[in-house]
Amino acid sequence: MAADRDFIELIEQIAGWTGPVTNSLSSQDDETKPTALPFTLVERSETEWLSSLCGTEQDVCFCTVVVTFVARKLAQARRMADAARPSLAAAADALESEGSNYDAGLRGHYVQQQYRVFDRSPNV
Amino acid sequence: MSAFSTKGMKIYLEKKPGSSPAPVAVTSVSNAKPATVTVALADITKFKDGDLVTVAGTGLTAVDGKAFTVGDLDDVANTFALLGSDASGATAPANVGNVTNHTGDLIEFCLSTIAYTQQPGQAISVGTTCDPAAQLAGEPQAGSLAIEGFEDYASAGFVEFLQAATDGIPRMLYIQLPPSAYPGLYVIYPSVTTSGISETFAVGAAAAFTGEFILGSNPVRIRDDA
Report ipTM (2 d.p.). 0.78
Domain boundaries, chain A: 3-23+36-119
- CA dist., res. A85 & res. A51, Å (int): 31
CATH classification of A3-23+36-119, choosing from 2.160.10.10, 3.30.2000.10, 1.10.287.3510, 3.30.1490.20?
Answer: 3.30.2000.10
Within 8 A of B108 by CB-CB distance, chain A residues are: 54
The CATH number linked to B185 is 2.30.110.20
- CA dist., res. A2 & res. A115, Å (int): 14
How high is the pLDDT of residue B96? 92
- CA dist., res. A113 & res. A78, Å (int): 11
Least Cα distance to B81 among B58, B59, B50 occurs for: B50
- CA dist., res. B143 & res. B218, Å (int): 7
Q: What average pLDDT does range B25-46 have in this prediction?
A: 94
Looking only at the bridges linking them, the beta strands covering B144-150 and B208-215 are antiparallel
- Residue B108 sits at the chain A interface (C-beta within 8 Å): yes
How high is the pLDDT of residue B58? 95
State the nearest Cα–Cα gap between B203 and chain A, in angstroms.
7
Interface mutation vs chain A, best among B110, B153, B180, B209, most A CBs within 10 Å: B110
Nearest CA in chain A to B148: A52
Nearest CA in chain A to B205: A62
Boundaries of domain holding B83: 24-101
Q: B134 and B205: one domain?
A: yes
Q: B218 and B118: one domain?
A: yes
Q: How confident is the model at residue A116 (pLDDT cuts 50, 70, 90)?
A: very high
Q: What average pLDDT does range B75-101 have in this prediction?
A: 92
For A90-101, the pLDDT digits (tens) are 999 999 999 999
Residue B139 domain flag = yes
Averaging pLDDT over each range in A3-17, A75-89, B90-104, B113-127, which range is the top one? A75-89
Name the least confident of A21-25, A67-71, B51-55, B111-115: A21-25
Q: How confident is the model at residue B34 (pLDDT cuts 50, 70, 90)?
A: very high
State the nearest Cα–Cα gap between A115 and chain B, in angstroms.
9
